[in-house]
Structure 1
Amino acid sequence: MSFKNKVVLVTGASSGIGAAIASKFAEEGASVIIVGRNETKLKEVEAKCQRNGAKVLMLIADVTKDNDVVKMMRVAITWSGHWGIDILINNAGIAETADIWDENAMEVYERVIATNLRSVVFLTHLAVPYLTKNKGNIINISSIGSFAPLSTGYFAYCASKAGLDNFSRAIALDLATKGVRVNTVNPGPVRTDGFQTVGEEELNKFGAMTALGRISEPDEIADLVLFLASDKAKAITGSSFVSDNGTLLKRN
């Protein structure tokens, strides 16, 4: 799959799934705009993309701040030569927890919704004119938490991801007439930075939750994203793709 002459914007690109997605697109010839808050880690991703010969723009931004997002888009469009972007990957997200009876329940809910859902809506709103012009596509990184709560304390996270899935389907219908495709990828447990801190014993516990007895690597999710962004998936829009090693199956 070649993405030569394509411009891809990836949020939450400083580590984990976002970093893997950016790197994979760079390997396939895309120009990559990487967005994140951790400058040190983002520079590492930038260097990796550049080693693959890609043109890279690194942007430090907080997607929950409208001013940051507006500035980010302005810089990105100028950098791309006003051609805009072809592929938008909304990957930035948090999984902060609280029980509904906790004093901080609404604070947690508002932070999670702001990051996982509202920021996606706003960035998509700003990007759509360029995606429409380029007949591009949008891939939103959701979660199997949109289908079922996998643990207690995740009411905000599950609500945000369920909202993200339905938002994606709604705009897929809206944008189909403009030639823009929209899909979601819904991972289960993935070996990201958050998991690295828990130790191998805890990782094995997460693996035991899955039917296949393993957790995914970020590159596996990135491969699925690249497929959906390619012409090989030109008939696919408004769909959610689960990659969870059978976690949902084992719950049945």
Structure 2
Amino acid sequence: MACFVNKVVIVTGASAGIGAATAVRFAQEGANVAIVGRNQERLAKVAEDCAKYGRNPLVIKADVSKDDEARSIVAKTVEAFDKLDILVNNAGIYKYDDIQKPDFMEIFDSIMTTNMRAVAFLTNLAVPYLIESKGNIVNVSSIAGRCVGHPHRTSYKTSKAALNHFTRCIALELAPHGVRVNSVSPGPVATEIFNTAGLPDALTTLKDATALGRVGESEEIADLILFVASDKAKSITGSDYVSDNGMLLKQ
């Protein structure tokens, strides 16, 4: 029997990569999914993939970094399904930066706004409904939040380190209400984020940097997210699950 029948799930950054794979897996397991992203065409494709399992998702075109649009995500989901059980904060951006360059703060602010502030705001909006449903939150972080190597990624790494600590703090705060909060930290995964960042060849280098000599697939991370969000993990909160093909072992 499907694990998430009639559960209501929001997945941000669902138009591609890990978010898309996660949305489809939740639909496959019987959930009502709200898929959130900025690319309408890609969202439509993900919606088709979800619908193959008998569940038409709620498609929400929104930029999580904009407060009004973030508000609409939670409002539209609750309006459509009357509740919220799981929030997957997956939306994120990745850019190179250089502390010596004039555009450093512009890049820093844009990354922190999307990768950290938007998560905090969406969590704030979703919490009343999650307390009511005794639901949970899964934040998609990165092993970049744990390591310092490889320069010119300061903004991204700082955002993910902040996200990890935010996860732990909110897990403690919401535990008395029966709401679990965890994070998943992938290593390199074959997604569009590198192309979007203008780094199409990055995966080749990153593959060689892993102990297992491979990069992850979006579906692997989706499966981990579903486990953490499921009742199989009902004793787990404030934890960070790493799936990196052993990359941290070589840092």
Q: Is TM (by shorter chain) over 0.5?
A: yes
Task: State the partner residue of 1:16.
Answer: 17
Alignment of 1:135-150 (within 5 A): 135-150=134-149
> SS where residue 241 of structure 1 aligns?
strand
RMSD over aligned CA atoms reads 1.3
Give the residue type in structure 1 aligned to 2:245. N
How far is 1:161 from its partner? 0.4
Work out the CA distance in 1 between the residues paired with 2:129 and 2:184: 22
Work out the CA distance in 2 between the residues paired with 1:26 and 1:204: 32
Task: State the partner residue of 1:183.
Answer: 182
Work out the CA distance in 2 between the residues paired with 1:203 and 1:165: 24
* 1:120-170: CA deviation from partner (whole Å, max 9, x where unpaired): 000000000000000000000000010013421111111100000000100
Residue 222, structure 1, aligned to residue 222, structure 2: yes
Give the residue type in structure 1 aligned to 2:5. K
Task: State the partner residue of 1:69.
Answer: 70
> SS where residue 74 of structure 1 aligns?
helix
> Contact (CA 8 Å) 2:47, 2:56: kept in 1 or not?
no
Give the residue type in structure 2 aligned to 1:241. Y
> SS where residue 236 of structure 1 aligns?
coil
> Contact (CA 8 Å) 2:7, 2:31: kept in 1 or not?
yes
> Contact (CA 8 Å) 2:38, 2:61: kept in 1 or not?
yes
> Contact (CA 8 Å) 1:99, 1:153: kept in 2 or not?
yes
Q: Which structure 2 segments of 5+ residues have no match?
A: none
> Contact (CA 8 Å) 1:210, 1:250: kept in 2 or not?
yes
How far is 1:202 from its partner? 5.2
User: What is the percentage of aligned positions where both structures have the same residue?
Assistant: 51
Alignment of 1:1-252 (within 5 A): 2-80=3-81, 82=82, 84-195=83-194, 203-251=203-251
> SS where residue 14 of structure 1 aligns?
coil
Work out the CA distance in 2 between the residues paired with 1:160 and 1:186: 13
Q: Structure 1 residues 20 and 214, CA, compared in 2 at 3 Å: closer, same or farther? A: same
> Contact (CA 8 Å) 1:30, 1:55: kept in 2 or not?
no
* 1:160-215: CA deviation from partner (whole Å, max 9, x where unpaired): 0000000010000000000000000000000002346866x753322110000000
* 1:6-57: CA deviation from partner (whole Å, max 9, x where unpaired): 0000000000000000000011000000000000001000000001111310
Give the residue type in structure 2 aligned to 1:33. A
How far is 1:96 from its partner? 1.4
Give the residue type in structure 1 aligned to 2:232. K
Work out the CA distance in 2 between the residues paired with 1:78 and 1:67: 16
> Contact (CA 8 Å) 2:188, 2:203: kept in 1 or not?
no
> SS where residue 93 of structure 2 aligns?
coil
Work out the CA distance in 2 between the residues paired with 1:202 and 1:183: 28
What is the TM-score when the length of structure 1 is the normalising length? 0.95
> SS where residue 227 of structure 1 aligns?
helix
Work out the CA distance in 2 between the residues paired with 1:202 and 1:140: 24
> SS where residue 237 of structure 1 aligns?
coil
Work out the CA distance in 2 between the residues paired with 1:193 and 1:159: 21
How far is 1:74 from its partner? 1.4
Give the residue type in structure 2 aligned to 1:154. R
Give the residue type in structure 1 aligned to 2:132. K
What is the TM-score when the length of structure 2 is the normalising length? 0.96
> SS where residue 177 of structure 1 aligns?
helix
Work out the CA distance in 1 between the residues paired with 2:7 and 2:204: 39
Work out the CA distance in 2 between the residues paired with 1:194 and 1:34: 18
**Which shows bigger deviation, 124-133 or 187-196?**
187-196
Work out the CA distance in 1 between the residues paired with 2:191 and 2:184: 16
